[in-house]
Amino acid sequence: MLGRHLLDPALWHLNRQSVSTAFAVGIFVAFLPIPAQMLVAAVLAVLVRSNLPISVALVWISNPVTMGPMLLYSYRTGAWILGEAPAMAAFDLSWEWMRARLGQIWAPLLVGSVSLGLAAGALAWASMQIFWRWHVVQRWERRRNVRRLRAIIAAQNVENEKAATDSDADSTDTREPPRDRVS
Least Cα distance to 59 among 34, 77, 90, 76 occurs for 34
With respect to residue 177, please indicate whether it lies within any of the assigned structural domains. Answer: no
pLDDT in tens, 6-56: 777 778 888 899 999 999 999 999 999 888 999 999 999 999 989 999 999
Q: Look up residue 85 and give its amino acid.
A: A
With respect to residue 181, please indicate whether it lies within any of the assigned structural domains. Answer: no
With respect to residue 141, please indicate whether it lies within any of the assigned structural domains. Answer: no
Band the pLDDT of 91: cuts 50, 70, 90: low
Are 54 and 19 a contacting pair, CB within 8 Å? yes
Name, in order, each residue with C-beta under 8 angstroms of 85's C-beta and a sequence gap of 6 or more: 79
Residue with more model confidence, 86 or 113? 113
Q: How far is the C-alpha of 94 from the C-alpha of 83, rounded, in Å?
A: 26
With respect to residue 16, please indicate whether it lies within any of the assigned structural domains. Answer: yes
With respect to residue 179, please indicate whether it lies within any of the assigned structural domains. Answer: no
User: Does an H or E element contain 159, and which?
Assistant: helix 95-170
How many structural domains compose the chain?
1
Q: What's the mean pLDDT when you consider all of the chain? A: 85
Q: What's the confidence (pLDDT) of residue 103?
A: 77
Q: How far is the C-alpha of 20 from the C-alpha of 83, rounded, in Å?
A: 33
With respect to residue 152, please indicate whether it lies within any of the assigned structural domains. Answer: no
Q: How far is the C-alpha of 145 from the C-alpha of 142, rounded, in Å?
A: 5
With respect to residue 49, please indicate whether it lies within any of the assigned structural domains. Answer: yes
With respect to residue 80, please indicate whether it lies within any of the assigned structural domains. Answer: yes
Whole domain around residue 61: which residue ranges?
3-135
